[in-house]
Every structure is written in structure tokens, then in C-alpha cells.
Structure 1
Amino acid sequence: MTSISTELKPPAGQTAGQRIRQAFSRALVSQMHPKMLGALVLPFLVALFGAVLLLWFFWTPLKELIAHWLMQWGVLDAHADLWLVGIGLFAIKTIIVPVLAAGTLLPLAGIAGLIVSAVMVMPIVLLFVQNKSHPTLKKQGQNAFSYSVANALWVGFLFIMGWMLSLPFWLIAPLALVLPVFWWAFAFTRLLRVDSIVEHASTIERKILLQRHNKEYWLLGLVLSLLNLLPPAWFILPVFSALVFAHFNLSALESLRAEKTLDSHELTL
């Protein structure tokens, strides 16, 4: 039996770029299937309902809180107003606060939709991908649902805390783009790399895959996070991202088991 430490390097064959491109191309084809188009409804409704509730209950008090905070930091004081008027951007005062408020509330609804997709839609996605591409791949995971829920809640908590605490840095121009990309890459990666293999991979297999493909998971999450900058993509990303990780991880798991079979055969010779 080979040890974990000797199995951390990816096998010869496809490169990381090829595996990533294959996952996205297969996910795109799968997304066009009627079943996967239907799966878009649940996370979208959760995100939409969450957005309406958050905006209804927290929009006004959050704007007042952000305006108070900006005044304390001197962003909206009298001198700042004179400077803004002087360069012809006097309306920015009425834009900064709503943008920051929306930037606080809408991602909370978005992460709720992604969590629902990871926990409730992922099993549907995995069944679809397995039937289409990996019909002989056996499920060897244990306590998959509870593990998935615990992971989703933990990642959701870290995302919300990180997003809220880093929000003041949005006033620094480059970070206003970098921070959303980073936090969404974190959410996509940490949620979906686990949920896409927890049903099928044993504990040992999961550890091997998470170590072996760690950089590739983050590249997948980064690409999805960049797509998340495009508002039209928000509707499909909860399911499309699940498809990307499902295709990637089920293929990786199938390759890992093929390696084990080959190693076992060589040991018997």
C-alpha cells in the first residue's frame, strides 16, 4: 500500500491548465441541460429573497451607520466636501454611502445562494455529472451531508466576517477591486472543493485530493470570482460553479483510484 506522502504529486498526463479548461468546458455543456437549467431556480430565489429582506430591514440604518463612520474618518467632513466640489464631483457624497451599503448587503444574499447551492444543489449536480461522465465511480464518503453543512456554515461565517471587516479598505481604489475578487475566490474554493467530493471520496482520498490539487482549486475559484464581477453571471454562477468543481473533482478522484489500482497490481506481480 502506497503512503499518502508519495501520492501528493499529480500523475503524469494532463497538465493543470488542461484539467481546468476541461472542467470549465464540460461544465458549460452540462449547464445547458434542462435539469441543470432547472437547478438554477432554487439558489436564485434564495439570493433574491435574502436581498429583498436585507434591503428592506437594513438599508436605511446601514446607510446612516456608514455615513457616521465616514464622518468620523473625515471622508465626508466639510473640507472633503469643498475638495469634492472643487473638482466637480460634489455628487460623490450621495454615491459613496449607497455603494458601500449595497456592497455590504448584496454579497450577504449572494453567499446565502452559494451555500444553498453547495449543500442542496450539489448532490443533484454530482448525480448528473456522475451519470453522464463517471457511471462506474462508487461513493465512499461518510457523513457527507453533516460535513457539507458544517463546512458551508464555517466558510459562510468567515466570508461574512472578512467581507465586513475589510469593507473600509474599499475606499482605497485598487483594493475596491482586489478585495471582492479575493473573498469570492475564497468562498467558491473553500465551499466547493469539499462539497464536490465529500459524497464520493473516502477520508484518505479527500486528503490526498485537497493537497494534490490545492493550487488548481484556487485557480478555479479565482476564475469564477472574476466571472462574478459581471452581474449577468450572478444568475448561473451558483450552479455553474458547482458543475465546474464537480467535473474537476470526479475526474481527479477517478484518476486517483486508477493509480491505486495500478499500484496494487504492480505489488502483486
Structure 2
Amino acid sequence: MRLLLDSFWRAAAYCLHPRVIALSILPLVLMAVLALGLGYFFWESTIAWTRAWLSGWPWFGTVMGWLQGWGLGEVQTLIAPLLVVALVTPVVVVLSLLLVASLVTPSVVSLVGERRFPHLDKRRGGSFAGSLFGALWATVVALAVLVLSIPLWLVPPLVLVLPPLIWGWLTYRVMSYDVLAEHASKPERVALMREHRVMLLVLGVLTGYLGAAPALVWAWGALAIVLAPVLVPLAIWLYTLVFAFSALWFTHYALAALQAMRMAEAADVRAVEPPASAPATELLVEQGPAGSPSSTSAYVPLPPP
């Protein structure tokens, strides 16, 4: 628990680092670039195709006739652009978040490693292929368990426990691999995930609850629709910031645990090593036959090594 709390406040402090702030703003920049690029090259042709597609539906002409009868004929020119924006915006948002998510964890691990663990050896027990396969496998398992557990959600207490527990397990599996891939060997990663399974699962559940926090910006009811141009960028920034905080929390916890494990192993090795034999500092010199001046044995000191 001490390690969990220590890594929590360190992760919160690192959120103020310029690199983390830049990563949290990056999705907004990517969204603007993608939107401008798509609009410049495809806006006119997409709007024309959408209007032609809508005109092919009989009900669309009927609705437009009603609107013209009510003096709202100008709405017809706005429907196609609004429909295009409504369909393209989620795609742009998801692409931006996925790109940033692929950059956040490596950048966060590098930042924490450079600033807090500069002398921690990098044994590179993970790979991109291993991370991708592990993430896909864990996601399939989590989704399957989530679907199978839906009937249990009818029990009021379980609906507040089961989904966060399942997503927490998924976060723990994926994040633990990613933050240890660079510094830990495979046996070290397996040992750490087994030894700290409970605390890592708690960490995953807590970050899962934090991931739901940005959705609160939509709790304003109908006012959220009016403020959508402001709330959408705010929600995206909060999602990215929470993701960066989660990666920082896992990184601080896992690398501190890895360092402690290596220090304990080194202490055990020193404890079982036999003491080194003392160097000889004296030489026994045999003298001549008995009765002669050289009949005694003398120890002649040697200079220290």
C-alpha cells in the first residue's frame, strides 16, 4: 500500500511536466490537422455525394417539403454538412486518441526512467509484437467475461463491481507489460506481476474509474449540445490526461518494485557468497640441518599486496 500511495503522488506531480502536458494536448492538434486536411481535399465532393445520397430517399423529399412549407427551406442546405461532420468527428477523435495512446506509454516510461531510475538496467524482456498480442488476448478475454457477466448486472451491487473489476484486470495486464517491457527481463516481469498481482489489479480498477470521469462533462443535459464545440475538446483532453496519469502511476509503481526486487536479489547473493580467502602476508622459510645456524624456521613478513 505504501508503494501504491507513493507512486500515486509521484504520478500526479509528473502530470505537470511539460512533456506530459504536450502529450495531453497532442490529440487536439492532431484533430485540427486531420480536420483541416480532410476538409481541404474532400469537403466539397463529400457534401455533394451526401446530398445526392439523401435525395435518393423518398422520405427525405417529404421532410424537406414540410420544412419549406414552414418557412425553413434553408435547413436543407445544412443537413448534408451537419451529417458529414457528425459522422467524421468520431472517426477523427478515435484515430487521434489511438495515435497518442501508442506514444504516451513509451514516452512516459522513458521520462520516469531518465529522471527517477537512471541507473536501472534495461534488460528488454518485452517487444512490440508481445505487447500487441498480449493486449489483443487480454481484450478478447475481458470482452467475453463482460458479455457472460451481463445477467449478473441485474443484481444492483454487482453492476457497480463487475465491469470495473473486468476493465481493471484488462488495464493491469496491458499496462504492466508495456511499462516493464523495456527495463525488466521476462522472468522478472512474470515474477513482479505474480508478486504484486493484487496491488496492480487495485491500480487498474482505480484508473478504470478515473477513465469514466471525463464523461461527466456531458452531464449538463440539453446544455451539453449547445456547448458541444467546447465540451468535445475538453473531454478529449481529459481522456488523454487521465490515460497519461494512469501510465505514470503504473510506471512509477512497476519500476520501483523492479528496483526493490533487484536490490533484494543482490543482497541475497552477497549473503550466500563465501568470504574471500585472506592473502598470505608471511612466508615460512626453512633453514638448514638441526644444530646449524639455519636450523630454525623463521617467518619472514611479506609486504602487503
Under TM normalisation by the shorter chain, which class is it? 0.5 to 0.7
1:248 paired residue number: 253
Task: Tell me how far apart the structure 2 counterparts of residues 44 and 219 of structure 1 sit (CA, whole Å).
Answer: 31
* RMSD of aligned alpha carbons: 3.1
Q: CA deviation at 1:227?
A: 2.3
Alpha-carbon contact 2:123-2:183 (below 8 Å) kept: yes
Structure 1 unmatched ranges of 5 or more: 1-16, 50-105
Q: CA deviation at 1:204?
A: 1.7
Task: Tell me how far apart the structure 2 counterparts of residues 238 and 147 of structure 1 sit (CA, whole Å).
Answer: 21
One-letter amino acid of the counterpart of residue 25, structure 1: W
Alpha-carbon contact 1:189-1:218 (below 8 Å) kept: yes
Task: Tell me how far apart the structure 2 counterparts of residues 43 and 180 of structure 1 sit (CA, whole Å).
Answer: 27
Task: Tell me how far apart the structure 2 counterparts of residues 143 and 198 of structure 1 sit (CA, whole Å).
Answer: 4
* 2:20 is the counterpart of 1:36: yes
Alpha-carbon contact 1:114-1:238 (below 8 Å) kept: no
Q: CA deviation at 1:209?
A: 0.8
Task: Tell me how far apart the structure 1 counterparts of residues 137 and 251 of structure 2 sit (CA, whole Å).
Answer: 21
TM-score (norm 1): 0.62
**Quick one: higher RCO (CA 8 Å, sep 6+), 1 or 2?**
1
| Higher gyration radius (CA) | 2
Which of residues 96, 113, 117 in structure 2 aligns to 1:130? 113
Alpha-carbon contact 2:138-2:170 (below 8 Å) kept: yes
Same amino acid, percent of matched pairs: 30
Structure 2 unmatched ranges of 5 or more: 35-89, 217-237, 276-305
Task: Tell me how far apart the structure 1 counterparts of residues 155 and 264 of structure 2 sit (CA, whole Å).
Answer: 49
Cα displacement string for residues 95-120 of structure 1 (whole angstroms, at most 9, x for unaligned residues): xxxxxxxxxxx9xx99x958973x54
* 2:8 is the counterpart of 1:24: yes
SS in 1 for 2:272: helix
The number of aligned residues is 192
1:152 paired residue number: 135
1:194 paired residue number: 177
Q: CA deviation at 1:162?
A: 3.2
Alpha-carbon contact 1:224-1:241 (below 8 Å) kept: yes
1:180 paired residue number: 163
Task: Tell me how far apart the structure 2 counterparts of residues 259 and 114 of structure 1 sit (CA, whole Å).
Answer: 38
Structure number with higher helix proportion? 1
Alpha-carbon contact 2:175-2:250 (below 8 Å) kept: yes
Which of residues 110, 124, 141 in structure 2 aligns to 1:141? 124
Q: CA deviation at 1:44?
A: 8.1
Task: Tell me how far apart the structure 1 counterparts of residues 129 and 105 of structure 2 sit (CA, whole Å).
Answer: 14
TM-score (norm 2): 0.55
